[in-house]
Amino acid sequence: MSPSPHHEDRARGYVVPIGGAEERTGSMRVLRRFVKLCGGRRANIVIIPTASQLADTGDRYIEVFKKIGVANAISLPIGERADAERDEYIEHLDGASGIFMTGGNQLRLSTILGGTLVAQKVRRLNAAGVHVAGTSAGAAIMPEHMIAGGSMGLSARADGVNLAPGLGLTNALIIDQHFSQRDRLGRLLTAVSYNPFLLGVGIDEDTAIFISPDRVFEVEGSGNVTIIDPEHLSYSSMDRAKKNESLSLLDLKLHILSKGCRFDIHERKPYPPK
């Protein structure tokens, strides 16, 4: 699923995948930057807590956003597919300047939201200029292709990753979260080996990338972002590898970015902090 066509008179909204476990007290750099982008005190944040099975997840994020200074924050308790077709939830989304998807289980998020009016509305609003952030599972579902699970470790292995359709806010990246903390390099390598068109993006906890409408992103937060660029991949053994066998991937490019570093998705070029 590709991003919705954008409006010629309006820039797309930012897409903000967060690696999970973002600070919700203290400096809260990632969330504060998202709120500022959405209008600061005048922001209208709509929270989608569907990935979580904890009943208070939405309310806890309302408290966090209000602590930052947001006057209007609401959570949509979408727990089953029928909820994602409710007119009042669509109306709340229509008034949003920012949409925030919480963490939890990304397959729960995709199986409940996939193909619904809410999913369609999120894509169309982002194309019309509304900013969309997601943490952990909420980050994983953002691309066209979603990492749904896989093995831990440094090694790329056949069958080392499980993929599912994502929300389609970007079709150029595949995103993994809790990246360093959960040792997920191997499964991201495996994911990009399926189709070297995609850039692999591994985002650490308390770290985010702010993807601008011109397809340049900047890193915010306390951790690293790992970029795997397979554009010049000269050889992959994926097509002949047996189950759980180690893969050969030759001529990959690897970038490690920290706060303030930028990356041009179209040019596939990293930049140091300004």
CA distance 203 to 13: 20
Q: Please pick, among 110, 136, 193, 236, the residue that the annotation labels catalytic.
A: 136
Q: Please pick, among 22, 144, 205, 220, the residue that the annotation labels catalytic.
A: 205
Is 144 considered catalytic here?
Answer: no
CA distance 62 to 74: 6
- 128: number of Cβ within 10 Å: 15
Q: Please pick, among 178, 218, 220, 236, the residue that the annotation labels catalytic.
A: 178
DSSP code per residue over 10-68: SPPPPEEEE-S---SSTT-HHHHHHHHHTTGGG-EEEEE-TT---TTHHHHHHHHHHHH
Angstrom CA distances, 24 to 21, 31, 62, 75, 180, stand at 8, 8, 11, 17, 20
Task: Name residue 167's amino acid.
Answer: L
Tokens 């896989």 — which residue?
150
DSSP code per residue over 235-253: EE-TTTPPTTPBPPEES-E
Is 178 considered catalytic here?
Answer: yes
Annotated active-site positions, please? Answer: 136, 178, 205
